[in-house]
Amino acid sequence: MASFLCVVLYSQKNFTLYFDFNKYDLTPRAQSQLDSFMLAEKTTLSKMIIQLYGHCDAIGSATYNDKLSKQRVATVKKYLKKNGLDEQNIGDEIGYGKRQPLNENNTDEERQLNRRVEIRFMEVIPSGMTRISGDISLKEKIADSTTTSGTNIILRNINFYGGMHQFLPESEPMLNELLDAMRTYPKLVIRVEGHICCQQGNADGVDHETGIDNLSEARAKAVMDYLLFNGIESKRVSFEGFGHSTPIYPFPERSEEERTQNRRVEIRIIKK
C-alpha cells in the first residue's frame, strides 16, 4: 500500500465493476467504464489515491473465492497502471472473497451483483493548502439566516452501491452530521430528495435490490429510515424521488464528476 504524508483527503468518487461467473478478466463494459473515468480525470489522476476492493458470489469454497477476489483486484490494478496510473497512487488492494455479499445470493441476478470490484477514487491536496469550496458544517448552514423554508441543501458524500439504495461506508459521517443537525434543531422539518444520473428524460432508475424503477426514491427513503431508526420523529421527515428530472448537468453527463453531481441526495427545509 502506498504511503502519503501530509495530505488531506476529499472528493471521494466511487463506482463498481462487475465480472462474469468464475472470471477475473475485465468485461468490455468494465473496460469502457475505466476508460471513461481515466479520460475524464486525466488531469487529476496524479492527485488521487485509488482503493480496490474485490468480491465474489457464494459459489465455491472460501479459499477459492478469496483467491478469485484478489485476482479481480489485480486485474483492475494492472489495467489502471497500463493506462497511466502510477503505482504510488494505488492505496488499498483487498480481496474479501464472499464475506461481504450485498444480498442473499439466491438468484443469478443477486450473484451477479456480488461478482464485483468496488473502486474508490479519492483526490488529495497537500496539507496547508486551502480548499476553496465554501465548506461549512450542515448545522452552520441550517442556522444561517439565509436558509429558510424552501431552501434545498445538497448532502455531500452520501454515496450508494451502484444501482442500489445501500449506503457505501464513507456515507456515515454525513449521515451522522444530518442526524446531529436534526437533534440540535428539534423544530426542524425536512424532506429528503433523491436524484440519479445517466438517465435520459425524467424517468427513475432501476433499484437492483428490488427490481423496481424507483432508485432515487429508494435512496431518499434510505436516508429517512436512517433518521427514524436513530430516534427522529416520523412527522419531521418525509422523502421524494425525482429521478433524472432535475439534473445539475444535462444528459448525457460528460464526466464522472458530472455524474457524481447528478447522483445526489438533498434535503429541503420544510420548517425551521
Nearest Cα neighbor of 139 from 183, 102, 193, 197 is: 183
pLDDT of residue 131: 33
pLDDT of residue 1: 40
pLDDT of residue 135: 56
HSE-up of residue 59 (Cα within 13 Å, Cβ side): 12
Q: How many other CB atoms are there within 10 angstroms of residue 135's CB atom?
A: 10
Residues in contact with 108: Cβ distance below 8 Å, sequence separation at least 6, in sequence order: none
Which whole-number Å values give the CA distances from 115 to 13, 50, 51, 77, 201, in the listed order?
Answer: 20, 19, 17, 17, 30
pLDDT of residue 8: 37
Which whole-number Å values give the CA distances from 142 to 82, 151, 177, 195, 248, in the listed order?
Answer: 46, 9, 12, 21, 22
Same fold, 7-126 and 138-271: yes
What are the φ and ψ backbone dihedral angles of 193, each rounded to 5 degrees? Answer: -120, 125
Cell of 269: 427545509
∠ CA 45-262-164, rounded to 5°: 90
Tell me which fold the domain 138-271 belongs to. 60s Ribosomal Protein L30; Chain: A; (3.30.1330)
What residue spans define the domains of the chain?
A: 7-126, 138-271
Query: Could you give the angle at which helices 215-229 and 172-184 cross, rounded to 10 degrees?
Result: 60
Among all chains, which residue has been given the C-alpha cell 497502471? 81
In the chain, how long is the greatest CA-to-CA distance? 59
Class of domain 7-126: alpha beta
Separation between Cα atoms, residue 180 and residue 182, nearest integer Å:
5
Quick one: 121 exposed, middle or buried, by C-beta within 10 A (0-12, 13-18, 19+)?
A: buried
Which residues make beta-bridge pairs with 12? 122
pLDDT truncated to tens, each residue of the chain (272 aa)? 443 333 333 344 567 899 999 999 999 989 988 888 788 777 777 777 788 989 999 999 999 999 999 999 999 999 999 988 888 888 878 899 999 888 889 999 999 999 999 887 765 544 333 232 345 788 888 998 888 888 989 888 888 877 888 888 888 899 999 999 999 999 999 999 999 988 878 889 888 878 899 999 999 999 999 999 999 999 999 999 999 888 888 888 877 777 877 888 999 999 99
pLDDT of residue 215: 94
